[in-house]
Amino acid sequence: MGIKVVNLHKSFGEPPVQVLKGIDLTINDGDLVSIVGRSGSGKSTLLYVISTLDRATSGEVYYDNQNITTLNSEQIHQLRNSQIGFVFQFHYLLPELTVLENVLLPAYKKKLQKEKREYALSLINEVGLSGKEGRMPGQISGGEQQRVAIARSLLMDPRYLFADEPTGNLDTVNGDNIMALFHRINESKKTTIVYVTHDLDYANQARRKIELVDGLLT
């Protein structure tokens, strides 16, 4: 079981410009998948559609046997909150909140921040930031901020973790740390991880590498 994409199309603008041109793809549970391609190839668009952050123009996306393209907004939000974590290229931490408070943000929607506090602290430790939970985002480095964002994305124990250029703003050392963290999460938690990257070294670290050219899988 996992994610299945069937004849996926996505267009933007008027007149419509086709970005995805009939994608068929299967992602198995527990997989570690990279998506590569030149700028404009559709790799981030594909990630956004299969992660529910955007809707396809046509085609279907299945989580297990459920066609999520037929779900309404409320059902999509429930799916996203219960099964999906997302890491953006820019970390989007709230500057007025501490590291711990930023990690706990997803729990506030369900009023679970007290129950999740110890788990949040353990995630902060797992991403190598133990002792910095009381600091503000402006008091830690860019690489550390991205690790906070990853801890935040894991707080609700998502089944799927999607990441859009998670190392794009980082130097090599911090990029390597993020990739090592993804491997640990994938192995220890069996989390299915799909990430877009322009770095072929990082792409090749995945178990599967998917390449897009002009909106089509090669």
What residue ranges define each of the domains in the chain, with the CATH number in brackets? 31-55+74-209 (3.40.50.300)
In this structure, the chain runs to a length of 218
pLDDT of 81 reads 83
User: Which are the contacts of 25, defined by CB distance < 8 A and separation ≥ 6?
Assistant: 3, 4, 5, 8, 50, 210, 217
> Is pLDDT larger for residue 147 or for residue 174?
147
Q: Is the pLDDT of residue 110 over 90?
A: no
The residue-averaged pLDDT of 195-202 equals 92
Question: What element of type H or E holds 162?
Answer: strand 160-164
Q: Is the pLDDT of residue 152 over 90?
A: yes
pLDDT of 60 reads 94
Cβ–Cβ contacts within 10 Å for residue 171, how many? 12
Could you tell me whether strands 160-164 and 84-87 are parallel, antiparallel, or unpaired per DSSP bridges? parallel
What pTM, to 2 d.p., does this model score? Answer: 0.90
pLDDT, averaged across the chain: 90
User: Which are the contacts of 108, defined by CB distance < 8 A and separation ≥ 6?
Assistant: none
User: In this prediction, what percent of the chain has a pLDDT beyond 70?
Assistant: 100
Q: Is the pLDDT of residue 109 over 90?
A: no
* 210 close to 34: Cβ distance less than 8 angstroms: yes
